[in-house]
Amino acid sequence: MAVTNAVEPRYAVIKRYIREQIEQGLWSEHHQVPSENSLGEQFSVSRMTARRALQELTTEGVLVRHQGLGSFVAEQKPVGSLLEVRNIADDISQRGHRYSNQVLLMETCCAAADAALALDLPPGSELYHSIIVHYDNDLPVQWEERFTNPRLVPDYLEQDFTALTPNRYLTQVAPLTEAEHTVEAVLATDEQARALQIAQPEACLLIKRRTWSSRGAVSYARLLHPGSRYRLGAQLSMNRN
Amino acid sequence: MAVTNAVEPRYAVIKRYIREQIEQGLWSEHHQVPSENSLGEQFSVSRMTARRALQELTTEGVLVRHQGLGSFVAEQKPVGSLLEVRNIADDISQRGHRYSNQVLLMETCCAAADAALALDLPPGSELYHSIIVHYDNDLPVQWEERFTNPRLVPDYLEQDFTALTPNRYLTQVAPLTEAEHTVEAVLATDEQARALQIAQPEACLLIKRRTWSSRGAVSYARLLHPGSRYRLGAQLSMNRN
DNA sequence: TGTATATAGTTGTATATACAAGTATTCTCG
DNA sequence: CGAGAATACTTGTATATACAACTATATACA
């Protein structure tokens, strides 16, 4: 393969610069980025070229622009409508219900094959392991079993997850850049059925979620929902109209 | 509410013109649209303004452009990564497996409450009703129960669905513009378990899919997959990088 | 015939310019 | 002090121009 010798267009240089400022945390959400004119001076390009960089970053959702005001770093939101990385506590409060949870387990364990694979770690590595049941108005709606990479989140076990969801805590200490979900249907184990207060046999939705931050795979969670108390939804429309 | 008095920018006029040509079927997929220069002449604007229209339609996925060649109408693809409207027959062939199916039922029935609601029809309306089991290498992987609006697809019952999947047939006669999915976990009924050749009890993924064409709600399908033979997957990444 | 070369047409990048329009601040005047 | 006007700065729209890069076709030549 030949090295691509293509020169990077000037507007791309500006785009890259802005992205870097944001990724390095120098410009956080709602920070005002330089104006078209000042970027033009800074990079010795015309206003229209600087404008193009800002414009494209806007359509890509990195910036928001307001006429008369300026350009600002956008709030970071996940793309993809169906399976966003949501915090179940927020979902429940948003419905106007009371959220609570119970921590069943917090431990250090040795990675089994599947968890090690999911976190890109060698089998037998030390992992943090937690099991939490989430309640919606005292009705259990999710069994969360989670494996977390101790190198990226060293103080995971010291957290009080009745106050702050693991999901929320993790997104704070290791802002996630990527996520992967799979959805399948399984029967609950007896232990899970007891914790979720469901009769056996019961079909459950099992969502496996892997999340990455810029430093690597952070966490691997298995989220089990009683089939009778949970569903996923998605709308989609075609490109046209 | 005051009527928006804002004048439509010139580039927006050109965008609208192009979208209309496509929506009316005058320009179909891969059709070459006028060049920047000729659009500029046609609408009495500069090339850069015509260019902007083409450019934006490209980022919106309506057109594709190739340097030196021209601009072309893009293939219509659904947006949203997870639950596209896929044809299970295509999925199976794509994996290199052999696809087959068995039609268990084809009838006219009176809409039950849920089906009527799903298709925006009054309860008791006449509906087409079909049940088909889809096989991957002779292993049943999907139980498809479908209700179809006879006013939009009058000759549904005359089709030979062993040759052409309902999904594929419907997208041909009534190109879909919108779709809605829900995903839940349920236990298979005895009838479904027999048809899918699964042991009881078995957890199954139930996907409910409603599809619309420009003329209204076309079809409501319940797609049941054995939990042990099916899963859904989705990747998503954040706005940045 | 086959292979370069020229050419015409397309999109891509970049600039300079002009004016419109929205926002916030400052200034002026009653 | 308050209200309106002037202002400075921002993004938005539109144009004219120049050249680069890519593609397909036509042409010239060996």
Pick the CATH number of B88-229 from 3.20.20.70, 2.30.29.30, 3.30.450.20, 3.40.1410.10: 3.40.1410.10
Q: Give pLDDT tens digits for B144-173.
A: 999 999 988 888 888 888 888 888 888 788
**Residue the block writes with tokens 């429940």:** A92
Please report residues of B whose CB lies closer than 8 A to that of A59. 59
Per-residue pLDDT 10s for chain B (241 aa) are 334 446 799 999 999 999 999 888 899 889 999 999 999 999 999 999 999 999 999 998 899 999 999 999 998 654 443 455 577 888 778 777 888 999 999 999 988 888 888 888 888 889 999 999 999 888 898 999 999 999 888 888 888 888 888 888 887 887 777 788 888 889 999 999 999 999 989 999 888 888 888 788 999 999 999 987 777 766 655 544 4
Task: Report which residue is nearest nucleotide C22 when distances run from CA to C1'.
Answer: A68
Q: Would you state the pLDDT for residue A66?
A: 95
- Beta carbons of A213 and A175 less than 8 angstroms apart: yes
Nearest to A56 by CA among B58, B81, B19: B58
Task: State residue B35's pLDDT score.
Answer: 97
Q: Which of residues 147-176 of A touch B (CB under 8 A)?
A: 176
Asked whether the beta carbons of A216 and A149 are under 8 A apart, the reply is yes
Q: Does B232 touch chain A (CB under 8 A)?
A: yes
The CATH number of the domain covering residues in B10-73: 1.10.10.10
Residues 6+ apart with CB under 8 A from A74: A29, A61, A62, A63, A64, B239
Q: What's the Å distance between residue B87 CA and nucleotide D7 C1'?
A: 62
**Chain A nearest C-alpha distance from B141 (Å):** 13
Supply the pLDDT for residue B235.
Answer: 60
A208 touches strand C (CB under 7 A): no
Planar angle of CA A78, A97, A232, nearest 5 degrees: 45
Whether the CB-CB separation of B149 and B89 falls below 8 Å is answered with: no
Q: What is the DSSP string of B116-154?
A: HHHTT--TT-EEEEEEEEEEETTEEEEEEEEEE-TTT-T
Question: Whole-angstrom Cα distance, residue B34 to residue A15?
Answer: 30
Domain boundaries, chain B: 10-73, 88-229
Quote the pLDDT of residue B45.
97
| Cα–Cα distance, B230 to B143 (Å, whole number) | 12
Q: What integer pLDDT is reported at residue B143 of this predicted model?
A: 94
Q: State how far the Cα of A144 lies from the Cα of A5, in Å rounded to an integer.
A: 49
| Chain A residues inside the 8 Å CB shell of B85 | 236
CA gyration radius, chain A: 22
A52 touches strand D (CB under 7 A): no
Of A222, A221, A226, the residue nearest A188 (C-alpha): A226
pLDDT string in tens for chain A (241-residue length): 334 446 799 999 999 999 999 988 899 889 999 999 999 999 999 999 999 999 999 999 899 999 999 999 998 754 443 455 577 888 788 777 888 899 999 999 988 888 888 888 888 889 999 999 999 888 898 999 999 999 888 888 888 888 888 888 887 888 777 788 888 889 999 999 999 999 889 999 888 888 888 788 899 999 999 987 777 766 655 544 4
**Order of strands, sheet of A232-237, starting from the edge strand that comes earlier in the sequence:** A232-237, B176-187, B203-213, B216-226, B139-148, B126-136, B99-110
Task: List the single best residue of A59, A64, A236 to mutate versus B (max B Cβ within 10 A).
Answer: A236
ipTM: 0.64
Question: Are A149 and A217 within 8 A, CB to CB?
Answer: yes
Q: Residue type at A58? A: T
Portion 188-207 of B in contact with A at CB < 8 A = 201-206
The one-character DSSP state at A164 is S
For position B224, what pLDDT does the model report? 92
Looking up tokens 């494209």, which residue turns up?
Answer: A56
* Helix then strand then coil, % of chain B, to nearest 5: 30, 35, 35
Q: Can you tell me the distance from the alpha carbon of B206 to that of A13, in angstroms, rounded to the nearest whole number?
A: 48
Nearest Cβ partner of B240 from A76, A204, A231? A76
Common-topology check for domains A10-73 and A88-229 = no
Do A219 and A208 touch, CB atoms closer than 8 A? no
Whether B70 CB is under 7 Å from strand C: yes
Pairing relationship of beta strands B70-73 and B63-66 according to DSSP bridges? antiparallel
Query: Pairing relation of β-strands A32-33 and B32-33?
Result: unpaired
Tell me if chain A has a CB within 8 Å of the CB of B85: yes
- Report pLDDT for B114: 85
> Which residue carries 């298995």 as its tokens?
A222
